[in-house]
């Protein structure tokens, strides 16, 4: 899992650092954000101290009605040695007791101009993206007609050559050889390229080529949602391959299962065209048009009519 520290969100959202500068490199381990209203009221039984604490107008107005001793005690308990930061919204004035407590415990005390709800939404989206589960897969990721196609297979089967042909046909390369994948939510896998090999393709006998330099900026993209897996394998004459398209394989990546097609490779097969058609057929299926099922139903009707005759 990627690491995020308080300094990252300070830079991302241009937050004002009020006190607790020593703690700006504390790790943030969860995308959940705490609104410590009940803690400010005095109940700390289940205080999620490991989360970013977001304090708005309601919480600060309430603390203003407390006596000095209670207010100091509540702020002292809010600031712990594992709290990654406390953020005040709306550029509100911060009580001196909170500033002193944050400085003592080295808890970064920050302030934003944004409203509480708006900032909470932006920060949650940012943290979920950065802290999403990640993995790496050996393969090639290409954007074909808006469909994120992950091409997998053993080394030397022709993944990069197929990707090169797809790029020549107007599609866009995302990553070659190594695809870094993060699960942004339970139904979304997003693939990117490692920075070191971004926009590069390795073609055996030719070497490394820069796709963006050769074909232009329109031939590449930085990331793409993965929706289907094409697994290339050398043709095995003893294996029975699906000829109708009724069978649906799945490939599990992190916690999500993706549709998987196994494409046998042998001389004379135009893999780029096959992948293009597979991507278009996948889009048709999502719109409710399934040619294999239609054929199967028509065949069943013909057989039924023949039996009646």
Among candidate residues 177, 225, 260, 283, the one labeled active-site is: 177
pLDDT digits (tens, 9 = 90+) for 204-257: 888 999 999 999 999 999 999 999 999 998 887 777 666 666 677 889 998 899
Q: Tell me: the pLDDT tens digits for 138-161?
A: 999 999 999 999 999 998 888 999
pLDDT digits (tens, 9 = 90+) for 258-282: 999 888 888 877 889 989 988 988 8
Span 36-67, pLDDT tens digits: 999 999 999 999 999 999 999 999 999 999 99
Known binding residue 139? Answer is no
Write down the pTM of the prediction: 0.72
Residue that the structure tokens 């996948």 belong to:
282
19 is in an annotated binding site: no
* Residue 155 annotated as binding site: yes
Q: Pick from 69, 82, 81, 80: which is nearest to 42 by CA?
A: 69
Radius of gyration of the chain (CA): 27
Instruction: Respond yes or no: is residue 138 known to be catalytic.
Output: yes
pLDDT band at 300 (very low <50, low <70, confident <90, very high): confident
The reported pLDDT for the residue numbered 175 is: 95
pLDDT over 90 (residue 121) = yes
Q: Do the annotations mark residue 289 as ligand-binding?
A: no
* Domains, the chain, with CATH or none: 4-130 (3.40.1390.20), 134-296 (3.40.50.300)
The reply to whether 159 belongs to the active site is: yes
What string of H, E and C letters represents the secondary structure of 118-166?
HHHHHHHHHHHHHCCCEEEEECEEEEECCEEEEEEECCCCCHHHHHHHH
The single residue of 65, 239, 243, 266 carrying the catalytic annotation is 243
Helix 96-105, helix 68-78: angle, nearest 10: 30
Low-confidence winner among 4-8, 109-113, 222-226, 234-238 (lowest mean pLDDT):
234-238
């Amino acid at each position: 899992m990627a690491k995020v520290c308080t300094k990252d969100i300070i830079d991302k959202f241009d937050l004002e650092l009020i006190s607790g500068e020593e703690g700006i490199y504390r790790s943030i381990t969860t995308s959940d954000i705490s609104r410590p209203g009940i803690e400010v009221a005095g109940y700390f039984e289940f205080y999620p101290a490991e989360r970013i604490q977001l304090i708005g107008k309601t919480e600060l107005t309430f603390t203003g009605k407390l006596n000095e001793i209670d207010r100091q005690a509540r702020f002292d308990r809010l600031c712990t040695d594992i709290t990654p930061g406390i953020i005040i919204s709306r550029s509100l004035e911060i009580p001196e007791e909170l500033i002193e407590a944050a400085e003592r415990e080295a808890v970064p005390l920050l302030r934003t101009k944004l409203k509480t709800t708006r900032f909470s939404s932006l920060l949650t989206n940012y943290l979920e993206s950065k802290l999403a589960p990640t993995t790496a897969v050996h393969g090639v990721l290409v954007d074909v007609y808006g469909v994120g196609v992950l091409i997998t297979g053993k080394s030397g089967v022709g993944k990069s050559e197929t990707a090169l042909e797809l790029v020549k046909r107007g599609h866009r390369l995302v990553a070659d050889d190594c695809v870094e994948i993060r699960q942004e939510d339970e139904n979304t896998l997003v693939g990117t390229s490692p920075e070191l090999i971004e926009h590069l393709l390795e073609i055996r006998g030719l070497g490394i080529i820069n796709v963006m330099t050769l074909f232009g900026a329109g031939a590449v993209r930085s990331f793409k949602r993965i929706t289907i897996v094409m697994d290339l394998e050398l043709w095995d004459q003893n294996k029975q391959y699906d000829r109708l398209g009724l069978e649906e394989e799945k490939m599990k990546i992190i916690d999500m299962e993706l549709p998987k097609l196994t494409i046998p490779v042998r001389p004379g097969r135009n893999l780029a065209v096959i992948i293009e058609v597979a991507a278009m057929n996948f889009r048709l299926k999502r719109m409710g048009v399934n040619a294999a099922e239609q054929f199967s139903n028509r065949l069943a009707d013909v057989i039924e009519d023949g039996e009646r005759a």
